[in-house]
Structure 1
Amino acid sequence: MASSSSLPATLRMLRAAWRGAQEAVSFSSTRLRQHTGTHQHRIDRYSAADAAALAGQRIETAPFRVGGHEWPLHFYPRGVLAASDDNAGRVSVDLIVWSRRDPWWSLIPATPSDVTAAYRVSIALDGDGGNRAFCTAVGPHRFRGSLSSSGAMDVATVGELRAALRRGEGAGDGIVVRCDVTVTSLEKESRIMWCIRQLVSKINLDSIR
């Protein structure tokens, strides 16, 4: 039997061993999260809009929210660069990230934060059952801070879109521009949250079996 004088020393040794074990089994976790959203923007009488547009002029969609950010899409019927004759023959798009802030917090300068997203833009014609006539995809792309863009991408040539509208004569003169955005982030988790997530996942799997 241990003497009363040696008991406190033994307890101290046990406590030190327990702390050492805790430090030796340190744990952290990172998980991938993805948020996906879709926005559709309709342009009626597109032939008239095409005829009136100049190179560099854009049509802006309403901002739509995905992954905690607002995403307006810029659509250029005659290309992005007003000074380029070559660019004027292309139908182009550019996705913008916009981080909306509470009005009170907007008085304080924000720290720029990066956002990683992939997106796809497609153009469907009136009366075509929603089938995509033209499509382009970008990403994953890193958007550096609010109001940054992915850079303009061509969806079709002006001639290709005009010809497609002519082939669909009688079906309408409008187009629908669809944008699908997937925002990707890496998030750190505490050990407790990781254990809870694993437990919930196991419960869900057991309920399926």
Structure 2
Amino acid sequence: MKAKSPLSVRLLYWFATIGFYLMISIQILVIVLFVGRAAGVVPINDLQLRVQLPMKFDVEEQGAVHYGGNVHLVYLEEASSKIYFVDTPDFVSNFGIVSMLVAITLFVVMLHKFRAILGNVRVKQVFVHANIKHLKTLAYLLVAFWLFTVGYMYFAFYWIHDKVGFETVQMTNNLGLNGYSWMLFTALVIWILAQIFGYGVQLKEESDLTI
């Protein structure tokens, strides 16, 4: 009787499969939305865009902490927020849709590679050249996703600084890019894992030759 793969691997594979096809569906919807707007089927003024501000803004708010019978002052110095474009301008909506499409496409390809690795592991094909290729591609895609995120945030930052003004809010130069460094770290770990898999494949091939 053929041994089954571990339950955790099978569950991960099916979760990855569901996520993959779900993201494909979202990708198709975004493409339909973009084409519909270009064809005039979706009116420009019907899109009310809300997006996260790429930068933080200065606030000066004082509060108090009541603890142990004492009162401690606290201050809010920076905050993040979403920006709501009422009757979103054409350029902003198109830029948002295209950016979303690029991000979803990268994520779909990453899910596809991850699912392919799990599919091989599920059938006991662990140390094979295909998995090495998938792991390296996954690492490259994560770096590409990081570069896209940084580029998007810088572009949005300079555009908002140039085009958007508020009466009582002062934007800062803090983009919070350190919060995305995990992508580079994860890409490095995956790349190292690919090298380990390569060593495993080499040992397996040498073992097969000696049998």
More helix by share: 2
Bigger strand fraction: 1
**TM-score (ref. length: structure 1):** 0.20
TM-score normalised by L of structure 2: 0.20
